[in-house]
Every structure is written in structure tokens, then in C-alpha cells.
């Protein structure tokens, strides 16, 4: 589209240039005429027009259309004299003005043309923002660019085969999925997977985002969808990718947003287009969402998005591979411990790991290092988790520092005692720019499930900060520093009871799922759990109070403790 409009613009430009040049130069050459002959002709009434060319010449047009060049007498009264004899007189400036006017008009027309094209094509640019030659190129994205996600790769192998040779499937009467839905947390590579499917099948990739359709006039979204499919069909085989499909395919909640015509129309257009393919067309629609639970069931019916593929957070092996993938083409020190980094980056998505490597590279450059070192990766890791260390710490008073130190040591000690399989990667009382007074980085083991015991201990670890404060400074002096812990603990206890049905007395009933409001029994239950767990962890810290003092003292002295430091302190 861009190329095409550029071509038209060039054509128009040349056309105008030719016209102007033609106007200027293709006029007949004027012949010379002496001034007396001219005067004689003028007085005979033969002269039609006189153009004062410059100080030397006049251009004279006769009534018979012949053109002459006459010396300019440069007299003040010549103009009136010419006019008296019935000739029109023009100043050459008029001519210049004409050229300027033409140029000006060309400019305006050019600008107008370009803006018109831009407005007209804006829709299309947004609609198919990756439909350029580069994206169409097969080598742009392949499975090699995706580390991990092996199950997902396996699940789309037949789709790729189908796109390559749809007839093979049609002949056997096999109905291939028209739509694939990739779901999972943000940054796990759903877009990457869709691109890789297109890349592996060597077909163009057309992408839109559901959020582009939000807040549009009725009918615009639907027409965009139709345009998108029309374009894809032109290339015969293609992958159409709709990111954030939840923006147009959200469940309709009864009573609420009823009559959202625009969204419904867009969704209907999509479903209609999808049912309009023939079985031997190699077009596949891939949609992605972070919120599978909010999707309208109509989208998931057979013939629509009926193949669901989860793209989950990477496990330790996948993290290792992703880190390696992004470090591979960067200069790095040989002794970098990727195993350690992969172990520590629990809950990191692929996008976060990529970001981690990039941050480390930036840090290395900032520190004028020619290679990425372990310390850069460590710094980047903490940076991503907790933000920057606050550089100016002179304003923190001793009392606050001491409270923070006991609070953090409380968390660390409780982790050591209650969740020994977790790794305390860092405890610090260096405040971060994100507003933490200090923090603990506690890395759980990669596990598929959490046990009941684990959840309870995890909540105790969360409460241990406040418990340590109370133990040391008294119940009147507890601080606001535990708000985040309390929030997380409350969330966990609610899930423990409701979501996971782990409370012996309340059993397996989930109020939320049954659309019942939380009743007072449930509330009481949560409070009583919290009270007991808090009491237990306070008692635990009290029985290990010497250790708590030791860790705190060391923490105040060093500001930051790592796994080994704490291990040594605990073994003393």
C-alpha cells in the first residue's frame, strides 16, 4: 500500500514538473524587433499584449499570435502609452507569481494527497501491522526462537503440516481446527508461538489486537475484521493472529453491558468469517488471551477456537534455555552460573528473563565492562524484583533501621525454620526506590502443587515480620511496615479455605463459585486462622530469639545478607 501511494505521488510530481517546464520553455521563441517597428505596430493597433520581461527587454504578443522581443525603453510613461494604444501590459512578476502559485499548488496537492493516503491507510496499518515483507519472510521466526514450551510446540505440529498441505487433510475428510486459542500469563511467548507457526509453515502472518477494536463506532470493527480476512484470503495460506481476544470476546454478564453493539458485531463478524473457510484452505486463526476464564463460551465451540493450548510460565529447564538463548549472542564471562540463575528466577516469564539479560547487558556497559558478569545478572535480578537501591540513605534514622532489620530477620529466620527447602537468596535493609524499607528474596522450590502444610508455613513466614517487631519492641510499637505481608497472608488464607477446600470444618464448599457472598462464619474462620498462625510464629521466634538477635545484628552491620551468610549464622 505504502509503495503504491508513493508511486502515485511520484507520478503526480513529475506530471506537474512537466507542465511547469512545458509552460515555461515550450512557448515559441520570441523574434527580435526594433523599438521603432514596435511603435509603428503598436500605433497600428496590431499589438495585443506587452510583458515587461526585465530592464532590457519587453515581450510583445501580436494579435496574430506571433511573439517578439523588443528593447525596453525604460521610460516612466511607457506603460500609459502602451495602454492608450489598446495593448494590455503585464509585469513579468505576474509570470513569476504564476510559477510560485503553481509550485505552491503542487505542494498543497502533494501534502493533501499524502495526508489523504495516510488517513485512508491508517486503518490498514494498524490492522495488519506485521504484514510487511520482513514478517512474511520465513526465517523471521521459527521454533528455534522459542525456548521451552515443548508441549505447545508439539501440539501445533499438525497445524503446521495442515497449513502446508491442506489437501492432504481434506482428502481424508479430516476437519482441522479453524481456530487455536493460546492462553497463559503475560509475556510467556504466545505472540512468539503464533509467529513461529507462520514462520514454520512459511506463510504470511496477519496480526491485530482485540484492544484495537475497543471504543470504535458501530460497524468499524466488523468491517476491519472482514478486511483482515479478505487480505489473508488473498495470500491463500496465512496465519491470522488476534491478540487479547478477550477485549472482543468477553463473557456477557447478564444485566451489565448489554447492548454493546459494537463488540457483538465485531465478534459476530469474526465468527462468520471463521465459518466461511473451506476445508482445504490453509488459513488458520490463532487467538491469544491472558484471561481464559473471561471468554464467551460461544468462542470455544467446535468450528471456532476449539483447540486450546496453554502457554505457561517456564519451568527451571525452560528458564535455563531461555536465559541461554538471550545470552548466547552477547559477550559473557565464562564463569556465569546459569543453573543458579534459572533456579532463582521462579515465576519469571520469558519476557522477564529476556529483560533480565538485557538489563544485565546495560549494567555491564554502564560499568565499562566488556563482558556480562555474574554480578551484572545478580544486580539485574534484584532490580527487576525490587527496584533500585535507594542511594541516599542518610535520612533513615537508627530506630527505623533497627525495626526494619528485626522485621526482615523475622522473615528470614521463619523461612529457615519452617520452609527449609526454600532458598533465601537475599535479605536486605537497603531501602528500594519502590518504597520497600527492606526485603527478603525467598525462592521456593519449583513444584507442581503446594501442600496444606506448605501454605500454612508460608503464611507464618509472611506474618513473621510483624511478629518479630512485636516481640522486640512491644505490641504498642508495631509499625505499618507489615501491610504488604498482611495483604498477601489474607489472600492465602482465603484461598486455603475457599479455593482449595483445606479447612477440615468448612470442607469443600466454594462460596465464590456458588455466587454466594462470604458469610460471617467464613470471615470468623479466616480471622481465627490468622490469629493462631501469628501466635505460633511469634512463639517460634521467641524460642529462637538469640538467633533472631544474631541475624539482625549482622544485617545492621552488613546491610545485606545472602544465603551463605544466613546459613553460617544459623549453624553457630
What residues make contact with ligand ATP under the rule CB under 6 A? 146-149, 186-192, 243, 288, 290, 314, 322, 325, 350-351, 354
CB atoms within 10 A of CB 496: 21
Residue number, 350 or 437, with CB nearest to ligand ATP: 350
Q: Is 408 a catalytic residue?
A: yes
Residue number, 177 or 189, with CB nearest to ligand ATP: 189
Residue number, 314 or 481, with CB nearest to ligand ATP: 314
- The one of ligand ATP, Zn ion, none whose footprint includes residue 547, by CB under 5 to 8 A per kind, is none
Stretch that binds Zn ion, among 14-22, 224-232, 461-469, 551-559 (CB under 5 A): 461-469
Residue number, 326 or 406, with CB nearest to Zn ion: 406
> Rounded to the nearest whole angstrom, what is the least distance from the CB of residue 531 to Zn ion in the complex?
18
> Rounded to the nearest whole angstrom, what is the least distance from the CB of residue 184 to ligand ATP in the complex?
6
Instruction: Please name the residues in contact with 240: beta carbons below 8 A apart, sequence gap of 6 or more.
Output: 206, 207, 228, 229, 232, 283, 284, 285, 286
Instruction: Please name the residues in contact with 176: beta carbons below 8 A apart, sequence gap of 6 or more.
Output: 158, 159, 162, 166, 169, 279, 284
Stretch that binds Zn ion, among 51-59, 106-114, 374-382, 484-492 (CB under 5 A): 484-492
> Rounded to the nearest whole angstrom, what is the least distance from the CB of residue 572 to Zn ion in the complex?
24
Residue number, 153 or 488, with CB nearest to Zn ion: 488
Count Cα neighbours of 416 within 13 Å in the Cβ-side half-sphere. 26
Instruction: Please name the residues in contact with 146: beta carbons below 8 A apart, sequence gap of 6 or more.
Output: 153, 189, 192, 193, 196
- Site size toward Zn ion (CB under 5 A) is 2
- The one of ligand ATP, Zn ion, none whose footprint includes residue 186, by CB under 5 to 8 A per kind, is ligand ATP
- The one of Zn ion, ligand ATP, none whose footprint includes residue 192, by CB under 5 to 8 A per kind, is ligand ATP
Instruction: Please name the residues in contact with 124: beta carbons below 8 A apart, sequence gap of 6 or more.
Output: 1, 227
485 counts as binding Zn ion under rule CB under 5 A: yes
> Rounded to the nearest whole angstrom, what is the least distance from the CB of residue 464 to ligand ATP in the complex?
34
- The one of Zn ion, ligand ATP, none whose footprint includes residue 465, by CB under 5 to 8 A per kind, is Zn ion
Residue from 487, 533, 526 nearest 506 by CA: 526
Q: Residue 445 and residue 387: Cα distance in Å, rounded?
A: 23
| Position closest to Zn ion via CB | 465
Q: Residue 73 and residue 103: Cα distance in Å, rounded?
A: 32
Residue number, 196 or 429, with CB nearest to Zn ion: 429
Give residue 469's Cα distance to chain centre.
Answer: 42
Cross-sheet strand order for the sheet of 238-243: 205-209, 238-243, 283-289, 179-183, 305-310
- Among 465, 489, 503, 569, which residue sits at the site for Zn ion (rule: CB under 5 A)? 465
- The one of Zn ion, ligand ATP, none whose footprint includes residue 299, by CB under 5 to 8 A per kind, is none
- The one of Zn ion, ligand ATP, none whose footprint includes residue 189, by CB under 5 to 8 A per kind, is ligand ATP
Count of helix runs (H) and strand runs (E) in the chain: 20, 13
Q: Residue 482 and residue 465: Cα distance in Å, rounded?
A: 7
Residue number, 163 or 356, with CB nearest to ligand ATP: 356
- The one of ligand ATP, Zn ion, none whose footprint includes residue 282, by CB under 5 to 8 A per kind, is none
H/E stretch holding 490? helix 483-494
Residue from 249, 229, 230, 236 nearest 294 by CA: 249
> Rounded to the nearest whole angstrom, what is the least distance from the CB of residue 499 to Zn ion in the complex?
24
Give residue 290's Cα distance to chain centre.
Answer: 14
Catalytic pick among 135, 262, 408, 554:
408
> Rounded to the nearest whole angstrom, what is the least distance from the CB of residue 172 to ligand ATP in the complex?
33
Q: Residue 299 and residue 490: Cα distance in Å, rounded?
A: 35
> Rounded to the nearest whole angstrom, what is the least distance from the CB of residue 187 to ligand ATP in the complex?
5
Q: Residues with catalytic annotation? A: 408
**Residues at the site binding Zn ion, with contacts judged by CB under 5 A:** 465, 485
Amino acid at each position: 500500500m505504502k509503495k503504491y501511494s508513493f508511486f502515485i505521488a511520484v507520478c503526480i510530481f513529475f506530471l506537474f514538473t512537466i507542465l511547469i517546464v512545458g509552460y515555461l520553455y515550450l512557448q515559441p521563441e520570441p523574434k527580435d524587433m526594433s523599438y521603432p517597428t514596435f511603435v509603428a505596430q503598436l500605433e497600428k493597433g496590431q499589438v495585443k499584449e506587452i510583458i515587461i520581461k526585465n530592464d532590457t527587454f519587453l515581450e510583445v504578443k501580436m494579435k496574430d499570435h506571433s511573439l517578439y522581443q523588443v528593447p525596453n525603453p525604460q521610460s516612466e510613461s511607457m506603460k500609459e502609452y502602451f495602454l492608450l494604444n489598446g495593448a494590455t501590459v503585464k509585469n513579468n512578476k505576474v509570470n513569476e507569481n504564476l510559477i510560485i502559485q503553481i509550485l505552491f499548488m503542487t505542494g498543497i496537492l502533494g501534502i493533501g494527497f499524502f495526508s489523504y493516503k495516510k488517513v485512508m491507510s491508517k486503518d490498514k496499518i494498524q490492522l495488519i501491522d506485521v504484514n510487511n515483507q520482513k514478517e512474511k519472510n520465513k526465517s523471521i521466526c521459527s521454533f528455534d526462537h522459542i525456548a521451552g514450551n515443548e508441549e505447545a510446540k508439539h501440539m501445533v505440529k499438525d497445524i503446521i503440516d495442515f497449513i502446508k498441505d491442506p489437501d492432504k487433510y481434506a482428502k481424508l475428510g479430516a476437519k482441522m481446527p479453524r481456530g487455536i486459542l493460546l492462553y497463559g500469563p503475560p509475556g510467556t511467548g504466545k505472540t512468539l508461538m503464533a509467529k513461529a507457526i507462520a514462520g514454520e509453515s512459511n506463510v504470511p502472518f496477519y496480526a491485530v489486537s482485540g484492544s484495537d477494536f475497543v471504543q470504535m463506532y458501530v460497524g468499524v470493527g466488523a468491517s476491519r475484521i472482514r478486511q483482515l480476512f479478505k487480505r489473508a484470503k488473498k495470500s491463500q495460506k496465512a496465519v491470522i493472529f488476534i491478540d487479547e481476544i478477550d477485549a472482543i470476546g468477553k463473557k456477557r454478564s447478564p444485566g451489565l453491558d448489554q447492548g454493546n453493539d459494537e463488540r457483538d458485531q465485531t465478534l459476530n463478524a469474526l465468527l462468520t468469517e471463521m465459518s466461511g473457510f473451506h476445508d482445504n484452505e490453509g488459513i488458520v486463526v490463532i487467538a491469544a488471551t491472558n484471561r481464559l476464564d473471561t471468554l464467551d463460551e460461544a468462542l470455544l465451540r467446535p468450528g471456532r477456537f476449539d483447540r486450546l493450548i496453554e502457554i505457561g510460565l517456564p519451568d527451571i529447564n525452560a528458564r535455563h534455555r531461555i536465559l541461554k538463548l538471550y545470552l548466547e549472542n552477547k559477550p559473557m564471562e565464562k564463569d556465569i552460573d546459569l543453573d543458579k540463575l534459572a533456579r532463582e528466577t521462579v515465576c519469571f516469564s520469558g519476557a522477564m528473563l529476556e529483560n533480565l539479560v538485557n538489563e544485565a547487558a546495560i549494567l555491564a556497559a554502564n560499568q565499562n565492562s566488556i563482558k556480562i558478569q555474574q554480578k551484572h545478572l545478580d544486580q539485574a535480578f534484584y532490580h527487576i524484583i525490587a527496584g533500585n537501591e535507594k542511594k541516599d540513605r542518610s535520612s533513615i534514622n537508627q530506630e527505623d533501621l533497627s525495626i526494619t532489620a528485626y522485621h526482615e530477620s523475622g522473615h528470614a529466620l521463619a523461612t529457615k525454620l519452617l520452609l527449609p527447602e526454600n532458598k533465601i537468596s537475599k535479605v536486605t535493609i537497603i531501602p528500594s526506590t519502590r518504597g520497600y524499607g527492606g526485603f527478603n528474596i525467598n525462592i521456593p522450590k519449583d513444584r507442581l502443587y503446594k501442600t496444606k502444610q506448605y501454605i500454612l508455613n508460608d503464611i507464618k513466614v509472611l506474618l513473621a515480620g510483624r511478629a518479630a517487631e512485636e516481640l522486640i519492641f512491644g505490641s504498642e510499637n508495631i509499625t505499618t511496615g507489615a501491610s504488604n505481608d498482611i495483604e498477601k497472608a489474607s489472600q492465602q488464607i482465603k484461598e486455603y479455605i475457599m479455593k482449595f477446600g483445606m479447612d477440615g470444618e468448612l470442607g469443600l464448599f466454594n462460596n465464590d463459585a456458588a455466587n454466594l457472598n462470604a458469610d460471617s462464619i467464613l470471615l470468623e474462620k479466616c480471622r481465627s486462622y490468622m490469629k493462631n498462625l501469628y501466635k505460633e510464629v511469634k512463639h517460634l521466634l521467641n524460642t529462637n530469639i538469640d538467633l533472631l538477635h544474631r541475624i539482625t545484628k549482622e544485617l545492621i552491620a552488613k546491610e545485606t545478607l545472602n544465603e551463605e551468610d544466613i546459613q553460617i549464622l544459623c549453624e553457630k
